[in-house]
Structure 1
């Protein structure tokens, strides 16, 4: 299981960007956080074309399919959508990993029992530098 942002496990934070121009202000080789895929398609396409690692939130199966096709590194989904996406990801051998946002360590066990690829804690995302 992938665990991003847990205080006891070293991790590389995700760097939030809202516009393509902001990518230049992020550390080299960092993974970007673009927010919901539906509002970040142009940035996701730019990342795909320039081989920049990024993460998005999928709000539907369609979002996840498109994000994976554009080589997202991680696809975040809520606890209700994640099991459906995980099954699709396994069927179609997604390169992207399905990740569920959590706020408490106690949530990790339930997510693991659902067979989801991983979890991410809020502190793993840097919203401004």
Structure 2
């Protein structure tokens, strides 16, 4: 299980962007955090075409499948979608890791027992302005 934003385990941060221009304000080789929406497809496609690491926030299984097809390295999902997203990822052999957005450490045990790839705490997501 991988952890982002956990107080015991140092790992990379994700940089939440809402425009292609905002990429210029992120560190080199950073992972871009992009919420899936049709309005953000230009950002997602730009990042994918430039071989950038992408974490896509998906709110339903259709978006999870799209995120995988759009070359996401990580697919971030809410807790209620966790097991279904992980099952789809395993069934279709996604390259992307499924991460669950959590608030509290006591959520980790249940997610580990469900076989989730990892967790991400909100403090690992840094908002970048254009």
Same fold (TM over 0.5): yes
**What band does the TM-score fall into relative to the shorter chain?**
over 0.9
Does residue 28 of structure 1 match 2:25?
A: no
Contact 1:44/1:67, CA 8 A, preserved across alignment: no
Aligned to 1:57: 57
Unmatched segments (≥5 aa) in structure 2: none
Shift of 1:40: 2.1
4+ residue segments displaced more than 3 Å: none
Q: Distance in 2 between matches of 1:99 and 1:40?
A: 20
Matches of residues 1-129 of structure 1 in structure 2 within 5 Å?
A: 1-35=1-35, 37-38=36-37, 39-128=39-128
Shift of 1:41: 1.8
Contact 1:77/1:99, CA 8 A, preserved across alignment: yes
Contact 2:32/2:55, CA 8 A, preserved across alignment: yes
Unmatched segments (≥5 aa) in structure 1: none
Q: Distance in 1 between matches of 2:43 and 2:65?
A: 16
Q: Distance in 1 between matches of 2:52 and 2:101?
A: 22
Give the match's secondary structure for 1:24: helix
CA deviation digits over 1:56-95, x for unaligned, max 9? 1111111111111111111111122121111110011101
Give the match's secondary structure for 1:81: helix
Shift of 1:128: 3.6
Give the match's secondary structure for 1:80: helix
- Number of residue pairs matched by the alignment: 128
RMSD: 1.2
* TM-score, length basis structure 2: 0.93
